[in-house]
Homo-oligomer: A and B are copies of this chain.
Amino acid sequence: MPRKVDHDERRRHIVEALLHIAGTDGLDAVSLREVAQQAGVSMGAVQHYFATKEEMLAYALRHWLSLSVHARFSGRVRVRLGAETKPEAVLRALAAEYLPHDEASRFDARVAAAFLSRAAVDPALAQTLVPAIGGFVGTLKALLDSTGTRLDTATEARRLAALLDGLRTPVLLGALPHDQAMAVVEQHLRDILARDR
């Protein structure tokens, strides 16, 4: 009896090939031909699972957001933290890991930049990204709340998220060294965490 094809597994395999291309050569390089080649399947197989490039991109973004990026990123932050659990230390480790410094973090930053710019002209992608942006702000807000600060943590979480996102691009492009970006983050955390002591 032939083995039942796992269609979700096939779809994931295809969009992981797409994400590999996006993180290496950008979304511009994503085509039916390239994705099929990278995934080692026929173009017909890709078309069987995804009717349009837009559909494939939306699925890839959801897959990337739901699984690969969060799990891997949290794992790297935990390794960086070791036994440390203070919220201030978690915020620093999260920032240091978020800013590009090795191939894994550069890959994530390139994929994020590619989807963010594409989302500016693709409402379906924007709809998927908006809750993810909110989720990142929410994580930062929870960490700020647990420092016991009396600041308006909703505003401060938005400010910190924007700062990290705005530092990510110049670090990725080589316009700002990682340690100078971290010095900006350290200054910022000192400012906001010292303000109400």
- Please report A residues at the B interface, Cβ cutoff 8 Å: 24-29, 109-110, 113-114, 116-122, 126, 129-130, 133-134, 152, 155, 158-159, 161-167, 169-170, 172-176, 180-181, 183-184, 187-188, 191, 195
Which of B110, B134, B169 interacts with A165 by CB under 8 Å? B169
Known: A158-B176, A158-B180, A165-B169. 12 other contacts (CB 8 A): A24-B121, A28-B28, A113-B113, A116-B117, A116-B169, A120-B172, A133-B170, A155-B187, A158-B184, A159-B184, A162-B162, A162-B165
Give bound CA distance, A59 to B161, whole Å.
Answer: 33
> Which B residues are CB-close (under 8 A) to A25?
121
With A162-B163, A162-B170, A165-B169 as known contacts, state yes or no: A117 contacts B114, CB within 8 Å.
yes
CB A23 to nearest CB in B, in angstroms, measures 9
Interface pair B184/A26, CB less than 8 Å apart: no
Residue of B29, B117, B161 touching A166 (CB-CB under 8 A): B161
Given contacts A155-B187, A158-B184, contact A175 B121 (CB under 8 A): no
- Complex-state Cα separation, A155 to B27, whole angstroms: 33
Q: Of B129, B133, B175, B191, which one neighbours A129 at CB under 8 angstroms?
A: B175
Smallest CB gap from A158: residue in B: B184
Q: Which of B114, B159, B175 contacts A133 (CB 8 A)?
A: B175
Instruction: Say yes or no: A118 contacts B26, CB within 8 Å.
Output: yes
Assess the A184–B162 pair: CB atoms within 8 A: yes
Q: Which listed residue (B120, B121, B167) contacts A162, Cβ 8 A? A: B167
Q: Within the complex, which residue of B113, B130, B164 is in contact with A120, where a contact is CB–CB below 8 Å?
A: B113
Indicate if the CB atoms of A117 and B119 lie closer than 8 Å: no
Q: Do the beta carbons of B28 and A134 come within 8 Å of each other?
A: no
The reply to whether A173 and B119 contact each other, CB–CB distance below 8 Å, is yes
User: Separation in Å of the A154 CB from the closest CB of chain B?
Assistant: 9
Question: In the complex, what distance in Å separates the CA atom of A163 from the CA atom of B162?
Answer: 5
- A106 and B104 CA atoms in complex are apart in Å by 31
